[in-house]
Structure 1
Amino acid sequence: MPEIQQVLPKYMQIANFVRDQILRGDLQPGDEVPSERQIAVEWTVARPTAARALEALRHQGFVESRQGSGTYVRDRMRPNRLARERYSRSRDTGRIYPENERAVILAADYDTAPDHVAEALGLDAGARVVRRQRLIHADDKPVELSTAWYAGGIGETAPNLLIRERIRAGTMAYVEQVTGRQARYARDEMSSRLATNGERDALRLPEPSAVLVVRHVVYDVADHPLEFTEAVYPPERWAFEATYPVA
């Protein structure tokens, strides 16, 4: 019989909260994370629970302890930012990028949907779509090349999608606001392949180079596709999904 999933223990919920702050960029490499005392007070838990949360983060490789100083985000922590972290940051701060990241809009126009885009958006083959491509830099190094597609009709309601300028709160927040369609859930599919010539040039990669590819589909409250994005990431960076109970 199907069973309701168990809630994660308190220490893991705390660890996941801090982990998400790291993945969102709110806590940068070298930043100090809350101490056992701070966690115990803010979360109203016992000190051993707070200590176990920090220990879990250490074991997972997110933080390191410095004798007589505190606990800090590891200097080598360089995760790829997935859409989930950016949605969360946009909702909480009104901005999708932390201070050390910036995006350059490379394209914002109408195009003919490639077959896999048309299928993801539930459109006929060769349908007219809005295409919006961006190159994201972290600490002035290119770390993501992504292209978002929308059904062509959305371009009439959301004209800013067709302007090569940043949308500060994020394109999804903007599309929701002007269309009245609310995003309900998203699905990510990850794979790897060799980078194309254009991807190597944009991400400054040698030939040949493997890249991580994430295909991201956002669905509205009626379960209709609202946005399809294909993001390409360079090697030697990684994507982290979730911590979950096994037993």
Structure 2
Amino acid sequence: MPEIDEVLPKYLRISGYIRDRIERGELVPGDEVPSERELAAQWKVARPTAAKALNTLRQQGIVESRRGSGTYVSERPVLREQAPQYGSAYAEHASVTVLEATLLTAPDHVAEVLGLPRGSAVLMRKRLTGNGSRATEVVTSWFAGELAELAPRLLRAERLPGGTLRYLESVTDRRVSYLRDQLAARLATADERRHLALARPAAVLVYQLTLHAAGGAVIQLDEVVHPPEKWTFQHEYSRSS
């Protein structure tokens, strides 16, 4: 059983795990998903909890039940909404300054996310974006160090037309299959306070995005730091959502 955030109810952890397997292509349309009995045994939960996990996926249109047969991945599963263009593909009018593009020893958390041994070399690109005269975010992208030879422009302190991801896909055979994101709040570092013109101390919102290949390997890790008192990630929902 995978290690998944213990804060979530177990039925959501189970449904999320199955959903991730479908998004990674491990389960394809028409494949049978584990039964209530199998999920209850695998996750050490009661049958009603396993049933609730499968029902959550049914309500989302991801799986469907066949009477007397089992539960199967829908022919057209409704997965994540199409992700926006990412990989620092900023609007043309946005101000983007590449602060740093270099090879260095991976911080422990970066090595862990990228699936690299501790102490591995990684490629880091740090950019500062702005809107008019005000800096709006600090973006740091991390890549495996082996990409330095395959994608040398990642080491240039210049804006890449179309963004880092489009460039990376154009010069390698790596393709992004799915994305995963998460948010956290923390105190800004001295470097972040300087770039974003923040007082000391200042809280910031950190948006972490991982871009995965079909097999699950992380191609790119982005960490976006937003200053306080700035609304972001606006979404609109219909009443039926």
Do Structure 1 and Structure 2 share a fold, with TM-score over 0.5? yes
Among 205, 213, 216, which residue is 1:220 paired with? 213
Gaps of 5+ in 2: 1-53, 63-80
Distance 1:113 1:246 in 2: 44
Instruction: Measure, in 2, the Cα distance between the counterparts of 1:226 and 1:167.
Output: 17
State the distance in 2 between where 1:194 and 1:127 align.
Answer: 27
Identity among equivalent positions (%) equals: 39
Q: How much has 1:6 moved relative to structure 2?
A: 5.7
5+ residue gaps in structure 1?
A: 8-19, 21-83
Question: Any residues of structure 2 matched to 1:5-154 within 5 Å, and which?
Answer: 5=60, 84-87=83-86, 96-154=89-147
Q: 1:154 & 1:162 partners in 2: Cα distance?
A: 10
Whichever residue aligns with residue 5 of structure 1, its letter is: Q
Runs of 4+ more than 6 Å apart: 244-247
Q: CA deviation at 1:86?
A: 3.9
Structure 1 residue 133: deviation in Å? 0.6
Mapped to 2, the partners of 1:228 and 1:246 lie a distance apart of 33
- C-alpha change, 1:156 and 1:199, in structure 2 (3 Å) is same
TM-score in terms of structure 2 length: 0.63
Q: CA deviation at 1:221?
A: 1.9
Matched with 1:197 is 190
Q: Distance in 2 between matches of 1:147 and 1:229?
A: 6
Which deviations, in whole Å up to 9, do the C-alpha atoms of 1:150-193 show, x marking residues without a partner? 00111110000001111011001111111111111111110101
Distance 1:156 1:97 in 2: 25
Shift of 1:222: 2.1
Q: Normalising by structure 1, report the TM-score.
A: 0.62
2:232 to 235, 239, 242: 239
Tell me the secondary structure at the aligned position of residue 226 of structure 1: strand
Could you give the per-residue CA deviations for residues 74-113 of structure 1, whole angstroms, max 9, x where no partner exists? Answer: xxxxxxxxxx4443xx9xxxx9222431210011110100
8 Å Cα contact 1:100/1:139 also seen in 2: no
SS at match of 2:116: coil
2:169 to 150, 167, 176: 176
